[in-house]
Structure 1
Amino acid sequence: MYLMNGRFYGCKVVVSDLDRSLAFYAGVFGLREVARFNFTDPDITEVLLEDETGGRRVILMNSEVLPVPSCPGWSPLVLEVDDVQAAREELAAAGFEVAFEPVGLGPLSIFMAADPDGYLIEIFAGEMVIDNLPTDQKIPHPVPHIHAAK
């Protein structure tokens, strides 16, 4: 029963360049650093980022011993916005990769962008009502070009 009443706190993302990722999440999403933890044995730095309400959180993790994950498993961050097209234009204008252009999925409009390490960020607008989503609609899969060998 405790787990069913729990609340998701946020997510942790392993990043290759802490400063570059801080600039991305602060600049694009308006998150600010609220705490920094430096662990030893192994050396790992975690930076907690939040919005002004504390409702949106991302914890960036950086260490020489933590590899940045890649395929086959991918876990996009998901962000709800009021206007998908405006969000897409803002990201592109800031020089960040749009993984795939906005598409309609029933009552939703969705696109994906990539952070500096290639983590996908799914950005959607519209009412998330599962019963209204067309389960037979196919949309382009965004991952292959983002996670291709560099």
Structure 2
Amino acid sequence: MQFTFAHNNFNVRDLDRSLAFYQEALGLSEVRRISPDDGSFIIVYLSDGKSAHQLELTWLRDWDHAYNLGDNEFHLAFQVDDFAAAHHKHEQMGCICFENPAMGIYFISDPDGYWLEVIPSR
């Protein structure tokens, strides 16, 4: 028996804002959407177009407050081939929330406060 990663889920308050952020900040594109007839939720799967792993964004119609992320000690990590260009882009977007130059990494925060680590391709 072997398990492989399929996706990670983040619940989001404003789906359009989140989709725009993930497209601009990380180049992720929608590959699949689930929308029931009653409109109670929307699930959107995002892909980087290279790996099989996807990010699932879930919007719940009746959720009316910010998600409690606790200590927010979890994150997704993204490798990038041009670290300096990515850092500049995220600096311009104002979404860098933590940097660790000694480790050569930094984190960006999405519209709901989820942290995303950016690491150089090694």
Instruction: State the TM-score, normalizing by the size of structure 2.
Output: 0.82
- Contact 2:107 2:115 survives alignment (8 Å): yes
Hey, what does 2:75 align to over in structure 1? 76
Q: Counterpart of 1:90 in 2: which secondary structure?
A: helix
Amino acid at match of 2:116: I
Matched, 1:55 2:58: no
Amino acid at match of 1:69: N
Q: Measure, in 2, the Cα distance between the counterparts of 1:113 and 1:40.
A: 34
Q: Which has the higher contact order (CA 8 A, sep 6+)?
A: 2
- The correspondence of residues 9-28 of structure 1 with structure 2, limited to 5 A, is 9-28=6-25
Hey, what does 2:114 align to over in structure 1? 119
Cα distance change, pair 120–111 in 1 and its aligned pair in 2 (3 A): same
Amino acid at match of 1:27: E
User: CA offsets, 1:19-49, max 9 Å, x none?
Assistant: 0000011122111111111247892210011
How far 1:54 sits from its partner (Å)? 4.7
Richer in strand (by share): 2
Seq. identity, %: 30
RMSD of the alignment, in Å?
2.4
How far 1:61 sits from its partner (Å)? 0.5
Q: Counterpart of 2:23 in 1: which secondary structure?
A: helix
